[in-house]
A and B are shown apart, each in its own frame.
Chain A
Amino acid sequence: MSYSLTVNGQVRHVDEDGQTPLLWVLRDTLKLPGTKYGCGIAQCGACTVHVDGQPMRSCSLALEAAAGSQIVTIEAVDGPQADAIRDAWVARDVPQCGFCQSGQIMSAVALLRSVPKPTDADIDIAMSGNICRCATYNRIRAAIHDAAGSAQS
């Protein structure tokens, strides 16, 4: 069946089974491989995208449920919080292997949009669904604090 969804500002029509995870549609059909497949069972956060502004695990969202939504992926996330996060990530050299990082960044940007000056506890709650096998958690937390400072100034 054919579904339309807006991905990174463009209306896209995809002809796939409605139960296909959005993650497969993004990576395989729309060729946007920045969003990663880590676990496929909503445990790791590597597949996080924004759906109508909310961070969601694209491995756990059916195409038919995502249809009609505005989807933003790591390839196009922008705005002052995204810029601040990107700069802080570079300055702190946050990634190690990098696999989890697009999901980390999508969650971090969403956090700063809703809590401009997050505490450690805010960061822990918002980011607890994003696992990093390389354990870059301390750098992630520091970079979010840096970004919060610079996005405000």
Chain B
Amino acid sequence: MALVIAAIVLVLAIVLRPQPLPEAQALPANHRSIETAQLRPAAAFATITDPAVRSVALFEEAGRVIQHPRCMNCHPRTDRPTQTDAMRPHMPWVTRGPDNAGAATLRCTTCHHDANFAASGVPGNPKWKLAPIEMAWQGKTLGQICRQILDPARAHMGRDQLLQHMAKDELVGWAWHPGGKRTPAPGTQAEFGALIDAWLKTGARCPA
């Protein structure tokens, strides 16, 4: 009898022992939070007294934008764009075509329209297209890119237009508003434009 009572007590003790209740857990965030990197303002370089050294430093800071995937993806060294922060080949398989906006039979506008489209995740801008092949940046050093953009034969633009392209062009400006999970270029287009302006005014010196 005593054995039976002991067994019942034991079973009750096991069943009724205090147990932790299941706790609600937060769902994982749908999108990883997108961090916007800052740019050092052009004024921060005033402490560099030698204009040539300051010019190179300004361009190196601007290079954080120029060599960002948002800019590099559309400056490929082949006829195919790259995509994502990993700069992988564009899928589907597309080519630049005669006007850098796609082959006649597979235009960029088959999928890309005037604005980023959240439902499909496809980015967009009215001027969506690649930089010309002479302006290929991928695989180049910042110094090579610097000399290239100063060469009107390859850049197809003089210094005023270059500043305009960097500081005002709306397709370039997309890099700061890429939508979706895409990381924006550092800083703002205005800050980037100010760096380029200050670089040009200090003699447009290039890194080695």
Contact = CB atoms under 8 A, between A and B. Distances in A.
Interface string B93-124: 11100000001111101111111011111100
A145 B118 CA distance: 37
Given A43-B92, A61-B113, A114 B120 contact: no
A122 B121 contact: no
B16 interface: no
Contacts of A62: 113, 115, 117, 119
Main secondary structure of the interface of A (DSSP, over half): mixed
Interface stretch (A1-9, A27-35, A90-98, A123-131): A123-131
Nearest to A128: B93
Interface string A36-59: 000011110100000000111101
A47 B162 CA distance: 40
B92 A125 contact: no
B119 A110 contact: no
Contacts, number: 72
Nearest to A62: B117
Interface residues of B, number: 23
A60 B118 contact: no
Interface in A78-112: 110-111
14 contacts: A21-B117, A41-B121, A41-B122, A54-B109, A56-B110, A56-B111, A57-B110, A57-B120, A59-B120, A60-B113, A60-B119, A125-B95, A126-B106, A131-B92
Interface of A: 19-21, 40-43, 45, 54-57, 59-62, 65, 110-111, 114-115, 122, 125-126, 128-129, 131
Interface of B: 91-95, 103-107, 109-115, 117-122
5 closest A-B pairs by beta carbon, nearest first, are A126-B105, A60-B120, A129-B92, A42-B111, A128-B93
